[in-house]
């Protein structure tokens, strides 16, 4: 079966929007230090791009979670594959993720991180598919809201491929 990728959001639009989000974050965190919690693997590309635009002091840590479920649907039962290296207590934590879909993964993750008593906990996602939401999770910074389409690029994968695409694309399966 062949796969073609059609561009949904261009590299230029992603860069422009990322810079806008960073500007807002810089204003909101004036005089504080941000501790980014990047969710592997999908969040890495966006987290790096965002962090490069931040002018307030930044530290970064990584967490890898796997959500039980099939390729395109998460179950909400999340297993920590790699935990953070550093404690969160007293820190201004900004969770950076690629996409919020049903909200199950992030709802679970945010509750888990909240239990570690950060001074503040906010969420920044590059994409949001609000029509797919099953659990209500409020997102503080959202790049783009998109329709219910399976997308790849900027960290997001289809069977572990396409994470490296600098744009957001929709996978179309052919003969």
Instruction: Kindly list the catalytic residues.
Output: 101
| Residues near ligand IMP (CB under 6 A), total | 17
Q: Looking at beta carbons only, is 92 or 98 nearer to ligand IMP?
A: 98
Q: Which does 156 bind (CB under 5 to 8 A by kind): Mg ion, ligand IMP, none?
A: ligand IMP
Kindly give, in sequence order, each residue whose CB lies less than 8 Å from that of residue 4, ignoring residues fewer than 6 positions away: 171, 172, 174
SS3 for 91?
Answer: coil
Kindly give, in sequence order, each residue whose CB lies less than 8 Å from that of residue 159, ignoring residues fewer than 6 positions away: 71
Q: Which does 124 bind (CB under 5 to 8 A by kind): Mg ion, ligand IMP, none?
A: none
Contact 81, 66 (CB under 8 A): yes
Site residues (CB under 6 A) for ligand IMP, limited to 144-173: 150-152, 156
Smallest gap, in angstroms, from Cβ of residue 150 to ligand IMP? Answer: 4
Site residues (CB under 6 A) for ligand IMP, limited to 68-127: 74, 97-106
Q: Looking at beta carbons only, is 42 or 118 nearer to Mg ion?
A: 42
Smallest gap, in angstroms, from Cβ of residue 118 to ligand IMP? Answer: 20
SS3 for 105?
Answer: helix
Q: Among 64, 66, 67, 120, indicate the residue that binds ligand IMP (CB under 6 A).
A: 67
SS3 for 17?
Answer: helix
Q: Which residue has the tokens 């962090």?
A: 51
Contact 151, 8 (CB under 8 A): yes
18 binds ligand IMP (CB under 6 A): no
Q: Which does 103 bind (CB under 5 to 8 A by kind): ligand IMP, Mg ion, none?
A: ligand IMP
Pull the structure tokens for residue 150: 């399976």
CA 131 to CA 102: how far, in whole Å? Answer: 9
- Interface residues toward ligand IMP, by CB under 6 A: 42, 67, 74, 97-106, 150-152, 156
């Amino acid at each position: 079966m062949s796969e073609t990728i059609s561009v949904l959001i261009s590299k230029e639009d992603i860069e422009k929007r990322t810079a806008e989000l960073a500007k807002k974050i810089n204003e909101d965190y004036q005089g504080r230090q941000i501790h980014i919690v990047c969710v592997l693997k999908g969040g890495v590309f966006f987290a790096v791009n965002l962090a490069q635009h931040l002018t307030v002091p930044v530290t970064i840590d990584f967490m890898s979670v796997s959500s039980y479920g099939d390729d395109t649907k998460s179950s909400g039962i999340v297993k920590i594959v790699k935990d953070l290296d550093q404690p969160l207590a007293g820190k201004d934590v900004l969770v950076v993720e690629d996409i919020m879909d049903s909200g199950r993964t992030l709802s679970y993750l945010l509750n888990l991180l909240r239990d570690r008593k950060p001074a503040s906990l906010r969420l920044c996602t590059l994409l949001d598919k609000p029509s797919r939401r099953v659990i209500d999770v409020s997102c503080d910074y959202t790049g783009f809201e998109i329709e219910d389409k399976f997308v790849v690029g900027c960290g997001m994968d289809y069977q572990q491929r396409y994470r490296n695409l600098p744009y957001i694309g929709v996978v179309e399966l052919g003969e």
